[in-house]
Amino acid sequence: MEFFNIHQLWYILRMIVACACGVMIGLERRNRSKEAGVRTHCVVACASALMMIISKYGFADTVIGENGVRGADGARIAAQVVSGIGFLGAGMIFVHRNMITGLTTAAGIWATSGVGLAIGAGMYVVGITATVIIIAAQILLHKNFRWLKNSKSKRLVIKNVNIKGYQAYMTSLLAENGVVVHDVYIEKNEDSNSYTFIIELPQNVSEEQITDLVDFKCKLSANM
């Protein structure tokens, strides 16, 4: 194989375009203070393009061996990028008090690798279009559309409770109304207890409905 030929300039251009697409996706993630930002997405896109270039062109002399017999399968490197990127994405997913975060960022890393693979294969229009779609989806779907609203995490504090087994009773009562209880904290006093329920409030259940269920003094606030 030659040390340098004109075709390698096109390969370098592909990596540069892939980097640019990765930067654009990373900018949107950075502006939302996510775990993976500009550098991570840029490196993932560039590396994916490099792997695709190697996979597609690096083994051209071995794909067709002697007597026309097929040799090494160059596509195997690109195939491993898709599975290998999963390890990077897994490191961005966190679970805290039954709340999962980082899924969108992990999916964005996986999508960025796809953009890099597409551009590395010479499919510029497909890769750039995918970049625009990903960025547009990230921005538009963060808007406050009514049909996109999700459940809300709340902190329900109930004070001066003197009923035995109140935690189980209240958990069951909330569940009957479609409210998921993620965690419960109990503060014990001499004559009574205070309960703090970390709950997931569905859209069809109002805060007033929850406070009406409680027979004791309570406060419902956002779970920060």
Contact 37, 146 (CB under 8 A): no
78 shares its domain with 105 = yes
Max CA pair span of the chain: 91
Give the tens place of pLDDT for each residue, 136-195.
887 776 665 555 555 567 778 888 787 888 888 888 888 888 888 877 888 887 778 888
118, 146, 174 - which closes a domain: 146
**What whole-number distance in Å separates Cα of residue 147 and Cα of residue 47?**
37
19 shares its domain with 61 = yes
36 shares its domain with 127 = yes
CATH of the domain at 198: 3.30.70.260
119 found inside a domain: yes
Task: Count up the domains in the chain and report the number.
Answer: 2
108 shares its domain with 178 = no
77 shares its domain with 171 = no
Cα-flanking dihedrals φ and ψ of residue 158, to 5°?
A: -120, 125
Residues of the domain holding 113: 7-146
Give the tens place of pLDDT for each residue, 72-114.
566 677 778 877 887 777 777 766 545 566 777 788 888 888 8
Q: Is the pTM of this model over 0.85?
A: no
CB atoms within 10 A of CB 112: 31
2 found inside a domain: no
